[in-house]
Amino acid sequence: MRRAVYQKILTRSLKDIDAICVKDAVRTCKIKSLFRDSDQPGTRMVFNICKAVGAFFPRAGYTQGSPQEA
């Protein structure tokens, strides 16, 4: 059941969430071969997890970094 929900989320077109997740995914640990560029498995996994979180919690969405203090 959970795997089906996860796969469904990943196939949805969520342009706002996708754009911010791409930025985070490509910045992840470039010295490791799994994350060297956007086509590497590690980078793809980070993107998928970020997208799933943002899509599953639409009110919170996916936000980069930590909240800024006012």
The per-residue pLDDT for range 50-63, each reduced to its tens digit, is 888 888 887 776 66
Is residue 22 helix, strand or coil?
Answer: helix
CA distances 60 to 17, 24, 50, Å, are 11, 17, 12
User: Which pTM was predicted?
Assistant: 0.75
Res 69 pLDDT > 50: no
Question: pLDDT, tens digit, for every residue of 26-47?
Answer: 888 888 888 888 889 999 999 9
